[in-house]
Amino acid sequence: MATEMPFSSYLITPKELHEALQKSPPSETTTLPRTIPLSAASFPPGDGRTGLDAFRERRIPNARFLDLGKVVDKHSNLPNMLPSARDFASAMSALGISRDDTVVVYDTFELGITSAPRAAWMLKVFGHATVHVLNNFKLWVENDYPTEFGEPPSIDASHYPTPDLDASKVVNFDQVKEVALNYNQGGPEGAQILDARPYGRWVGTTPEPRHGLSSGHIPGSISVPVSDLLDPQTKTFLPAEQLIRVFKGKGVDPARPIITSCGSGVTAAVIDAALAAAKYGNEENRRLYDGSWSEWAQRVNSSNGLIEKFAQ
């Protein structure tokens, strides 16, 4: 039975989610599509806090928890690489999520927006049709929408069929290397690489949080720190018109292909979500570099010109 889409935009407000949850079928055995809050809470390396602890401390009622650090490519030595389609389907099944459910991914109260866009992007890469990002859990709490705490109840598993991965949304090392080697000759149609890491890491004056990695940036890349895309007080995404000003101010051309990158493929998806919210550029021309700086800095070095410092 078809139902009306509950949300009209990729980013949704706490009020929109609250109203949708009140209308969502409550039964785990219903055949109707549901609206399911999905916590993708996580903290940066070395923080000491865990997403699961944050989920137990305070969460949206009936939310599920997706551990992004575990739903990954188990054969890669890089952090946060996309899992196999089979492992993704297994994770969704364990969370009791069905293909027809509307999934709303949200972040920690403390950070506002950081890892939820990555989880939402992963669902989209594996073809989940209706996925959104809550903007954000901090406002959900501060506006006194209901929360619960403690050990979450058990969930009846679903059968989530093994999907196909949409490879057009992902870019690998060799493809990024080609862009980096040719960025001076890229012309009006060449791809742009947008880097979500803090500016100090991009410019090479601040060390990387992962041991052994040089800081700096991919030649030709543009620094777009996550902090430039969020309201400093609420930690929500800036309004669309302000996001457009940010991207224009950094020289991002919406007519050209865009590759988003970061430290390990997580906050690159924050840029992707901001571009989507601002309707800046064509979604079909956006790809995410899954290995990001963790892979790049391992495979190249400054002596061969593939790590730059200081230059914009």
**What is the distance between the alpha carbons of residues 97 and 119, in angstroms, rounded to a whole number?**
14
Q: 19 is written with which tokens?
A: 């109203």
Q: 217 is written with which tokens?
A: 């940036």
Phi, psi of 260 (to 5 degrees): -100, 140
Among 262, 268, 275, 288, the active-site one is 262
Query: What is the pairing mode between strands 11-12 and 131-134?
Result: parallel
Phi, psi of 149 (to 5 degrees): -145, 175
**What is the distance between the alpha carbons of residues 108 and 68, in angstroms, rounded to a whole number?**
13
Q: Are 256 and 285 in contact (CB under 8 A)?
A: yes
Residue 119's Cα: distance from chain center in Å?
5
Q: Are 25 and 32 in contact (CB under 8 A)?
A: yes
Q: Are 64 and 95 in contact (CB under 8 A)?
A: yes
**What is the distance between the alpha carbons of residues 192 and 84, in angstroms, rounded to a whole number?**
27
Read off the DSSP letter of residue 56: H
- Residue 262 annotated in active site: yes
Residues serving a catalytic function are 262
